[in-house]
Amino acid sequence: MDNTLSPGLYIVATPIGNLGDITLRSVETLRMVSAVACEDTRVTGKLLHHLGIKQRLIRYDDHAGEGDRERLLALMMDEPVALVSDAGTPLISDPGYRLVRTARERGIAVTSLPGPNAAVVGMTLSGLPNDRFLFAGFLPNKAKAREDTLTALGQVPATLVFYETAPRLDAALAAIEAVLPGREVAVARELTKKFEECRTGTPGALAAHYAAHPPKGEIVLLIAPPGEEAAPSDFDVDALLRAALADAKPSQAAAAVAKATGLDRKTLYARAMELK
Ligand code: SAM
């Protein structure tokens, strides 16, 4: 690898949890640029410290204004400048869009170094159809806007991929259950980290599971295309029944799980008696 870099903008993807997930080229580039534009200098400072790199850090976050952007653009006319976000691929639900657009308009060299992205990791892990997927960022915060988004996207013949946070997961699953009942959903959580988990089922079954086991951490939420009805696995059903049996009688547990999954209550009751 050359030991100099031409002036321009270097978009560098960084790990989404596991610090081993950074490419050799990204490490070299972060070492060789003149400055690193980042969302939070403490977060990027820690990553660079871990990589043994000392760099000039320039804050460039969601609140960056015209002046911040112009200063960075002026710098990258003469020097190589990296853009990173706190985690993952810059610009994907992260800052950078205007910076890249203006840099390209002004003829500044822009290159993008691929690496971790939570949406793609969630997509590959979920087992949902992957020939076509539509990444839609975060679902809106307000209930009506969230349902409108799901109604609008729900008929698209592609797996839908959203970013979500743990405190909002129950509201998101309830909205999916209301708008797209029975659709197979995957919750991919804490990807690349110690407690990585990917759980699939109907929105109702997943809501019941996470009501009993409140989720922590970062989440990618995926919804299968139209026509993909969920068939909860025996493992899922057993987990739901066990969770419900923790504070209910078998008949009540079976009724609750039947409501959440649409499965036959008598069959669930028989299984609940076996598990009890
Ligand atoms: N640019 C990032 C990327 O390439 O993945 C995404 C940034 S966005 C502000 C943060 C959201 O990404 C989180 O709320 C979560 O939905 C998702 N995310 C990031 N890291 C994750 C992880 N390790 N596991 C699951 N989801 C993650």
Q: Enter the DSSP assignment of 64.
A: -
> Looking at the structure, do residues 82 and 156 belong to the same domain, yes or no?
no
> Looking at the structure, do residues 129 and 108 belong to the same domain, yes or no?
no
pTM of the model: 0.85
Look at residues 116, 133, 158 and tell me which one is the last residue of a structural domain. Answer: 116
Q: How many Cβ atoms are within 10 Å of 47's Cβ, its own excluded?
A: 19
208 neighbors 238 (Cβ within 8 angstroms): no
Residues of the chain with pLDDT under 70: 1-3, 228-235
- Ligand 1 test: best mutation among 22, 94, 163, 164, most atoms within 8 Å of CB? 163
Q: Do the domain assignments include residue 3? A: no
> Looking at the structure, do residues 141 and 223 belong to the same domain, yes or no?
yes
Half-sphere CA count of 61, side-chain side, radius 13 A: 11
List pocket residues of ligand 1, CB cut-off 6 Å. Answer: 16-17, 85, 87-89, 92-94, 117-119, 163-165, 188-193, 218-220
Q: pLDDT tens for residues 60-115?
A: 998 999 999 999 999 999 999 999 999 999 999 999 999 999 999 999 999 999 99
Q: Do the domain assignments include residue 17? A: yes
Q: What pLDDT was estimated at residue 263?
A: 77
- The pair of three-digit structure tokens given for residue 137, joined into one six-digit string: 């960022």
State the average pLDDT for the chain: 93
Q: What pLDDT was estimated at residue 272?
A: 85
- The pair of three-digit structure tokens given for residue 222, joined into one six-digit string: 């995926």
> Looking at the structure, do residues 129 and 31 belong to the same domain, yes or no?
no
202 neighbors 262 (Cβ within 8 angstroms): yes
- DSSP string over 221-267: EEEPPTT-B----HHHHHHHHHHHHTSS-HHHHHHHHHHHH---HHH
Look at residues 81, 98, 116 and tell me which one is the last residue of a structural domain. Answer: 116
> Looking at the structure, do residues 53 and 152 belong to the same domain, yes or no?
no
Q: What pLDDT was estimated at residue 233?
A: 57
Look at residues 73, 89, 116 and tell me which one is the last residue of a structural domain. Answer: 116
What CATH number corresponds to the domain at position 78? Answer: 3.40.1010.10
User: What stretch of H or E contains 220?
Assistant: strand 218-223
> Looking at the structure, do residues 129 and 213 belong to the same domain, yes or no?
yes
> Looking at the structure, do residues 128 and 92 belong to the same domain, yes or no?
no
- Ligand 1 test: best mutation among 83, 86, 120, 218, most atoms within 8 Å of CB? 218
Residue 91 CA: nearest ligand 1 atom is 1
Integer angstrom CA distances of residue 37 from 17, 154, 207, 238: 20, 37, 39, 48
**190 C-alpha vs ligand 1 centroid, how far in Å?**
9
Q: Do the domain assignments include residue 1? A: no
Q: What pLDDT was estimated at residue 260?
A: 75
Question: Distance between CA 196 and CA 205 in Å, rounded?
Answer: 19
Q: How many Cβ atoms are within 10 Å of 69's Cβ, its own excluded?
A: 16
Question: Distance between CA 234 and CA 221 in Å, rounded?
Answer: 22
**89 C-alpha vs ligand 1 centroid, how far in Å?**
9
> Looking at the structure, do residues 159 and 94 belong to the same domain, yes or no?
no
61 neighbors 67 (Cβ within 8 angstroms): no
Amino acid at 56: R
> Looking at the structure, do residues 137 and 216 belong to the same domain, yes or no?
yes
- Ligand 1 test: best mutation among 11, 14, 16, 138, most atoms within 8 Å of CB? 16
Domain enclosing residue 271, as ranges: 234-244+247-259+261-275
**247 C-alpha vs ligand 1 centroid, how far in Å?**
34
Q: Do the domain assignments include residue 164? A: yes
In the block, residue with structure tokens 């699939």: 200
The number of distinct structural domains making up the chain is 3
